[in-house]
Amino acid sequence: MANKTPLYQAHLDANARVVDFGGWDMPLNYGSQIDEHHAVRQDAGMFDVSHMTVVEVTGAEAKQYLQYLLANDVAKLTVAGKALYSGMLNENGGVIDDLIAYYLTDTHYRVVVNASTRDKDLAWMENVAQQFNVSVEEKTDVAMIAVQGPNAIEKANSIMSAEQQAAVAEIKPFVAVQAASWFVARTGYTGEDGYEIMVPDEAGIGVWNQLAAAGVKPAGLAARDTLRLEAGMNLYGHDMDENVSPLAANMGWTIAWEPETRDFVGRKALLAQKELIATKSAEAPHKMIGLILEDKGVMREGQEVVVDDKVVGVITSGTMSPTVGKSIAMARVKRDLNQESVLVQVRKKQLNAKVVKPSFVRKGEVLV
């Protein structure tokens, strides 16, 4: 039987089409996923992200533990609420998961990982924790709502108390604050501004309904996927996994190489990969590119990328972009590929696609 979030009844009340997603009953859409997509790009939409796994990392060695566990360096975080995005890697440099870590104090961090990888993530985090004076505990008493879009902050603020409004008044991107019983983070997965808000689980439906009354449109998994792909954001299990290096998943910027004295899980493997890249070895990790289809059709995961009758890569995520008006995709290809256009094998046809940076839309602006 699938898990249900604290907001499940609200989805049923709104006639959502509910599907199984990583063991959770989640809304795919509430009618038109295109309308939901455009609402986020043009106004404000909200997503139930309560299925995400929230982990409290506490203890005297919480900082040292996360410095070793993650490829990015939590030592960068010195202001309460500041967050960073990181890969959690295995010894071979593969991505066990991608996550956000929030600094609360030197002995308390909040980590949000993916729902579909919950069991293996918690097992891995517990395993590494054996080497440190640290506690790793899942937090299960919250509902989480992502409010996204150019008017998201204004509309979310409108339902807050005066105390909460004061708390979030100066909040900057990738920072969170405790606003009364709410934990409000200026983060998201859509390429738009907005909040991800954790509230006590019993308050979830009330907050959801207040947001809806304030003009925030409920949106489901389908819109969330087209939005994140337009923004060039990876989806775990598709654009990267345990067999894919962050260097092959457009995540090189999340690796903190300095200071050289900091060891982290996977560092040795990544250094070897960096050397292969520097020497232009044929064994070097692939790279991620963006594609825009110039012919009619839709690019999908698993389709081959072809140059001069040779397969040079594969699409990891593809869709029809409501904002761009064309099919877009991210593809993992050989690192020496430098063509401005390629062919994509769509069914029995090879269609023309333009090579671009793997980020298509940000804050409502088409970048390609």
**Which amino acid, 106?**
D
pLDDT of residue 131: 97
pLDDT of residue 22: 87
Rounded to 5 degrees, φ, ψ at 175 are -135, 145
Q: Which two tokens stand for residue 26?
A: 């989640």
* pLDDT tens per residue across all 368 residues of the chain: 789 999 999 999 999 999 999 899 999 999 999 999 999 999 999 999 999 999 999 999 999 999 999 999 999 999 999 999 999 999 999 999 999 999 999 999 999 999 999 999 999 999 999 999 999 999 999 999 999 999 999 999 999 999 999 999 999 999 999 999 999 999 999 999 999 999 999 999 999 999 999 999 999 999 999 999 999 999 999 999 999 999 999 999 999 999 999 999 999 999 999 999 999 999 999 999 999 999 999 999 999 999 999 999 999 999 999 999 999 999 999 999 999 999 999 999 999 999 999 999 999 999 99
CA 123 remoteness from chain centre: 21
**Which amino acid, 43?**
D
For domain 278-366, give the CATH superfamily: Aminomethyltransferase beta-barrel domains (2.40.30.110)
Q: Which residue has tokens 């891995």?
A: 124
List residues bridging with 185 in a β-sheet. Answer: 176, 196
Instruction: Give the helix ranges, DSSP H, for 231-368.
Output: 267-278
Helix (H) or strand (E) holding 63: helix 62-69
What are the extents of the domains in the chain? 1-277, 278-366
Would you tell me which CATH number, out of the four given (3.40.50.720, 1.10.1040.10, 3.40.640.10, 3.30.1360.120), belongs to the domain 1-277? 3.30.1360.120
pLDDT of residue 296: 96
pLDDT of residue 1: 76
